Amino acid sequence: MTVPGHGLRDRTAITGVGWTPYSKNSGVSTLELALRAISAALSDAGLGLRDIDGLVTHSVGDSAPAAAVAACLGVRDPRLLLDLNGGGSMSSAAVGAAATAVAAGQAETVVVWRSLNARSEFRMGGTGRAAPTLVEFQYQVPYGLLAPPQQYALIGRAYLQRSGASSEDLGRVAISQRAHAALNDRALMRAPLTMDEYLGSRWIAEPLRLYDCCLETDAAIAVIVTSAERARDLLHPPVLISAAATGGGHSYFSDGYADLSTSAARTMAPRLFAAAGIGPREISVAELYDAFTPLVLMQLEDYGFCAPGQAAPFVAAGETALGGTLPVNTHGGHLSEGYVHGLNHAVEAVLQLRGVAGARQVQGAETALVTGQPGYVSGVTSALVLRRDS
């Protein structure tokens, strides 16, 4: 039987990455941020504007649309224009869509980006603007369930109760990732974080404290996807896209899911690894979507790195730190580097597989898992398996 997604394996590659500085106030539009990140990614790849023939982005309410970006770049008659509706859940899906288009011959060089002023302009759960278009949101409003920390607090509580994990276990996730961020000059938060500081930080929505929550950030990220064959003639060793998968369905809050402590990633993960032809034990480094600390523990289990209930001891043993068996969020993640809706995780994976991550380099890194938001609140998720070209 043919494995779905197998035909994509290693046929395309990420050949360029670019980003803008991370800040609390960029002072420019999301369109300007997008153009700057794309320019940096093209320069990194050794390509020019004339090489772009496909554009893909994803967004939640604050988009720099693909057509507008194409016009500003001077891309005439692009062969692929795609605007995906969704935040972090669609970050890996956007890269997967670009890879699929290249593998199918629809386009040759596709730029994928995420651009947002998530601190200075469109704050998630902020007031003074229209409610989200999710159908079930009307049923949450009467109960004050409005902002992401409130929604993820329900999920975090369910996970803690099921697994037996504690506040200290959540704290170890934040502390480990802050230690990684200290080695990353892009990161917004680089000062060491202690357990006392973590436990002493204010509640946002129990069981989530301040340091359990991602950093709202103004920034843009861009990656360039082309064929593996073409990438081998460019500036950097190709980072091959071994597999891309999407999963999930409708919102966990209104679709009859009885267990909030597991995510859509658990169902999707076997398809993803089958398409890549490897298993969890063959992953060198994992860049796991970390809007909130419980998601890291949940994904360690849902992607098969740990048995149910064993993620907290795994982190406590130092296995997710640099030098551990599975370094996780080596850039600091959304908790300490910055929140760019998942695409900054793909950039870090590329740097690790190129072997150019400096002091935070995972020695001998051959493969990387990059995940999008694992299935909350929209119920949709996506992920990538990337591989260093042999």
Q: Rounding to the nearest 10 degrees, give the CA dihedral for residues 318, 180, 37, 285.
A: -20
Q: Is the sign of the CA dihedral 297, 298, 301, 305 positive or negative?
A: negative
The average pLDDT across 272-293 equals 98
Q: What is the pLDDT of residue 141?
A: 78
| Catalytic position from the list 198, 211, 339, 376 | 339
Supply the pLDDT for residue 124: 62
Residue 331 has pLDDT above 50, yes or no: yes
Catalytic annotation present for 139: no
CA distance 352 to 301: 23
Residue partners of 184: CB distance under 8 A and separation at least 6: 190, 331, 332, 337, 360
Residues 113-137: pLDDT tens digits? 999 987 777 666 555 556 666 677 7
Query: What was the pLDDT predicted at 252?
Result: 65
Question: Which residue from 321, 236, 341 is spatially nearest to 22, judged by alpha carbons?
Answer: 341
The per-residue pLDDT for 1 is: 47
Give the DSSP letter string of 186-204: T-S--S---HHHHHHSPEE
- pTM equals 0.95
303 tagged catalytic: no
Q: Which of 252, 289, 303, 376 is catalytic?
A: 289
Instruction: Please identify, in words, the CATH class of the domain defined by 6-122+214-388.
Output: alpha beta
CA distance 138 to 132: 9
Distance CA 263, CA 162 (A): 13
- 303-329 residue pLDDT tens: 999 999 999 999 999 999 999 999 999
pLDDT digits (tens, 9 = 90+) for 84-121: 988 889 999 999 999 999 999 999 999 999 999 877 77
pLDDT of res. 255: 61
Residue-wise pLDDT for 161-201, tens only, equals: 999 999 999 999 999 999 999 999 999 999 999 999 999 99
Gyration radius of the chain's alpha carbons: 19
Among candidate residues 149, 134, 126, the one with its CA nearest the CA of residue 209 = 149
- Using one digit for the tens of pLDDT, what is the confidence trace for 336-384? 999 998 999 999 999 999 999 999 999 999 999 999 999 887 789 999 9
What is the residue-averaged pLDDT of the chain?
A: 92
**What is the C-alpha to C-alpha distance for residues 122 and 220, in angstroms, rounded to an integer?**
14
